[in-house]
């Protein structure tokens, strides 16, 4: 159930292992929050804008090959047909009048501290890739875990670890810390591991598939179809019970159900009418996708991040469910031909907001204020929305359509100790042994690598359970 990135990956693995698999997707397209839109004939993809930890994709292809008996590999890569292009930098960051790229360029006041930080964290890519793709019970994971535990010690959160580095400039510390918003929460809510991510990204690179990020969805669809998976779109699930899944178009017999749905949506189908306790939620977003009437200055990077003047105030507002005075803004700018086969430039601006279920437009006071601030911080002569041609806005109300309360991108906020193998909801359900889970609400944070890695781990456990039967 659910044709997002996690559901497609799980279906491709199960089909490749020889099982008869039917994938049910409510929308008329596959990809979930990752989809492709067209504005004035120009292509632009929603959802995650970049790919990190490319080793996770390589591991997915290798395991798919092994499931089909191709121990030497090669088949999956050819079938998927996905090519990744490395961006020249992680991004450009704007904070309190300071502008810096990651990696920090030589001559910048932060350069020496950044080089020291990268010297400690930059080579951890293989360990984190293994952490994302390996089951907690696999003994091969232990060396990676031990190395990470020795590094962070008793400083469990991103905030506590970064604050312990007295030699790290305050501005650089906040630039590193803001990356925890990729998990929908502030640095006091994420494990110390998140502190390492910017350094690893700088060493291992950030990537975009040729043609755009939606090419990952298309690659997974190819693998699923090759594996014999029946893909059915426009068929929302109405009811789930042991041995049967009911949709608006009929019933499907099911020995096992794998859910890629948001946790709230899944529970509303299993137990309709059941009230859930009110809990704190991860953030939502206002995502604006636009064609541009004119090019932005040459200095504007493909990926930019405009921080709030006071990041701590943003974190407090999101925790309280209040609209922040200043948000964090992602700005993804692609000129003609990179990576989309477009004739005009396109832009995506993402604003972090609480999961308030609201609809937003450019005329909204919060959005208008942020458009002015983003343009000012990036050194543009006018607000960034004044460069727009056609545009489309996705907002908390839109994201809430998947069942996530208020449009929360990663579901409920979990305690730090639940961010690892003890995450909730779990991959499998003890009360319902026929029900398994994948997707962003199971593996929050980390974007595409975390969702794909979670699908690998969950499906690996499921295949073993099916063999044991």
pLDDT tens-place values along the chain, 469 residues long: 999 999 999 999 999 999 999 999 999 999 999 999 999 999 999 999 999 999 999 999 999 999 998 766 669 999 999 999 999 999 999 999 999 999 999 999 999 999 999 999 999 999 999 999 999 889 999 999 999 999 999 999 999 999 999 999 999 999 999 999 988 999 999 999 999 999 999 999 999 999 999 999 999 999 999 999 999 999 999 999 899 999 989 999 999 999 999 888 898 898 887 776 678 899 999 999 999 999 999 999 999 999 999 999 999 999 999 999 999 999 999 999 989 999 999 999 999 999 999 999 999 999 999 999 999 999 999 999 999 999 999 999 999 987 788 999 988 888 888 877 778 889 998 889 999 999 988 877 668 999 999 999 999 999 999 998 8
Whether residue 394 is found in the same domain as residue 427: no
Please check whether residue 93 lies inside any domain of the structure: no
Residues 385 and 302 in one domain: yes
Contact 85, 164 (CB under 8 A): no
CATH of the domain at 421: 3.50.50.60
Are 346 and 290 in a shared domain? yes
Q: With CA atoms as reference, report the closest residue to 184 among 285, 262, 266, 94.
A: 285
Query: Distance between CA 466 and CA 341 in Å, rounded?
Result: 44
Q: Is residue 103 part of a domain?
A: no
For residues 250 and 308, state if they share a domain. no
Nearby residues of 109 by Cβ (< 8 Å), 6 or more positions away: 169
Q: How far is CA 216 from the centre of its chain?
A: 13
| pLDDT of amino acid 272 | 83
Q: Residue 66: what pLDDT?
A: 95
The predicted structure's pLDDT at residue 424 = 84
Q: Are residues 449 and 424 in the same domain?
A: yes
Looking at 153, 184, 201, the residue that finishes a domain is: 201
Same domain, 390 and 438: no
Six-digit token string for 322: 């209040």
Measured between alpha carbons, how far is 279 from 25 in angstroms, rounded to an integer?
28
Domain annotation covers residue 97: no
Residue 66 lies in a domain: yes
Q: Are residues 251 and 349 in the same domain?
A: no
Residue at 106 is within a domain: no
Q: Which helix (H) or strand (E) holds 314?
A: helix 311-320
Q: Which of 201, 232, 267 is the last residue of a domain?
A: 201
In this prediction, residue 414 carries a pLDDT of 86
Residue 102 placed within a domain: no
The Cα–Cα gap between 348 and 369 comes to: 17
Same domain, 365 and 306: yes
* Residue 157 DSSP symbol: B
Neighbours of 176 (CB within 10 A): 26
According to the 3-state scheme, what is the secondary structure of 333-389?
EECCCCCCCCCCCEEEEEEEECCCCCCCCCCCHHHHHHHHHHHHHCCCCCCHHHHEE
Distance (Å) of CA 58 to CA 40, 102, 245, 297, 312: 35, 25, 33, 36, 37
Question: CA angle, corner 193, sides to 189 and 199, nearest 5?
Answer: 120
Of 179, 201, 223, the one marking the end of a domain is: 201
Helical (H) or strand (E) element with 269: helix 263-270
**DSSP letters spanning 123-142:** T-HHHHHHHHHS-TT-GGGH
Q: Same structural domain for residues 34 and 183?
A: no
**Together in a domain, 121 and 180:** yes
How many Cα atoms sit within 13 Å of 155 on the Cβ side?
17
Are residue 219 and residue 83 in the same domain, yes or no? yes
- pLDDT score of 71: 62
Q: Indicate the number of domains in the chain.
A: 3
Determine, yes or no, domain membership for 104.
no
Q: Which are the contacts of 238, defined by CB distance < 8 A and separation ≥ 6?
A: 246, 247, 248, 269
pTM of the model: 0.96
Report how far apart, in Å, the C-alpha atoms of 20 and of each of 80, 255, 464 are.
21, 10, 16
Q: Which residues contact 383 (CB under 8 A, 6 or more apart)?
A: 368, 371, 372, 374, 375, 376
Residue 172 structural domain: 111-201
pLDDT value at position 410?
87
Residue 70 covered by a domain = yes
| Per-residue confidence (pLDDT) for residue 311, from 0 to 100 | 97
What tokens does 90 get? 């992680």
Return the structure tokens found at 333: 């700018």
Which sign does the torsion angle of CA 425, 428, 430, 435 carry?
A: positive
Same domain? 273 vs 421: yes
Token duo for residue 75 = 């088949």
The predicted pLDDT at position 195 comes to 96
Q: What is the pLDDT of residue 459?
A: 97
Which tokens sit at 261? 């749905």
- What's the pLDDT at 425? 87
């Amino acid at each position: 159930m659910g044709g997002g990135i996690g559901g497609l990956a799980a279906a491709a693995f199960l089909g490749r292992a020889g099982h008869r698999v039917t994938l049910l997707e409510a929308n008329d397209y596959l990809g979930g929050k990752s989809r492709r839109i067209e504005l004035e004939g120009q292509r632009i993809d929603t959802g995650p804008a970049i790919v990190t930890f490319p080793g996770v994709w390589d591991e997915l292809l290798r395991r798919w090959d092994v499931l089909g008996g191709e121990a030497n590999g090669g088949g999956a890569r050819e079938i998927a047909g996905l090519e990744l292009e490395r961006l020249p930098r992680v991004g450009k960051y704007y904070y309190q009048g300071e502008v810096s790229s990651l990696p920090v360029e030589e001559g910048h006041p932060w350069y020496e501290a950044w080089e020291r930080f990268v010297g400690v964290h930059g080579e951890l890519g293989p360990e984190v890739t293994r952490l994302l793709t390996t089951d907690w019970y696999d003994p091969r994971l232990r060396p990676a875990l031990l190395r990470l535990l020795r590094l962070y010690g008793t400083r469990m959160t991103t905030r506590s670890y970064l604050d312990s580095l007295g030699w790290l400039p305050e501005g650089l510390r906040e630039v590193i810390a803001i990356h925890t918003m990729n998990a929908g929460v502030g640095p006091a809510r994420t494990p110390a591991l998140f502190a390492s991510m910017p350094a690893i990204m700088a060493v291992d690179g950030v990537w975009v598939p040729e043609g755009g990020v939606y090419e990952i969805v298309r690659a997974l669809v190819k693998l699923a179809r090759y594996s014999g998976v029946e893909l059915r779109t426009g068929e929302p699930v109405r009811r789930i019970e042991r041995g049967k899944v009911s949709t608006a178009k009929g019933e499907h017999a099911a020995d096992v159900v794998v859910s890629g749905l948001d946790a709230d949506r899944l529970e509303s189908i299993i137990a309709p009418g059941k009230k859930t306790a009110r809990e704190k939620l991860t953030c939502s977003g206002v995502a604006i996708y636009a064609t541009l009437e004119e090019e932005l200055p040459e200095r504007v990077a493909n990926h930019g991040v405009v921080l709030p003047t006071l990041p701590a105030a943003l974190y407090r507002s999101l925790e309280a469910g209040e609209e922040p005075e200043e948000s964090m803004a992602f700005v993804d700018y692609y000129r003609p031909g990179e990576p989309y086969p477009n004739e005009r430039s396109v832009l995506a601006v993402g604003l972090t907001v609480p999961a308030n279920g609201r609809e937003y437009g450019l005329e909204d006071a919060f959005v208008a204020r942020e458009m002015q601030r983003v343009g000012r911080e990036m050194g543009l002569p006018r607000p960034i929305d004044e460069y727009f041609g056609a545009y489309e806005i996705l907002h908390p109300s839109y994201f809430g359509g998947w069942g996530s309360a208020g449009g929360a991108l990663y579901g409920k906020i979990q305690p730090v100790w639940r961010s690892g193998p003890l995450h909730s909801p779990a991959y499998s359900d003890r009360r319902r042994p026929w029900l398994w889970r994948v997707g962003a609400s199971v593996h929050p944070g980390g974007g595409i690598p975390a969702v794909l890695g979670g699908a690998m781990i969950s499906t690996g456990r499921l295949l073993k359970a099916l063999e044991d039967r």
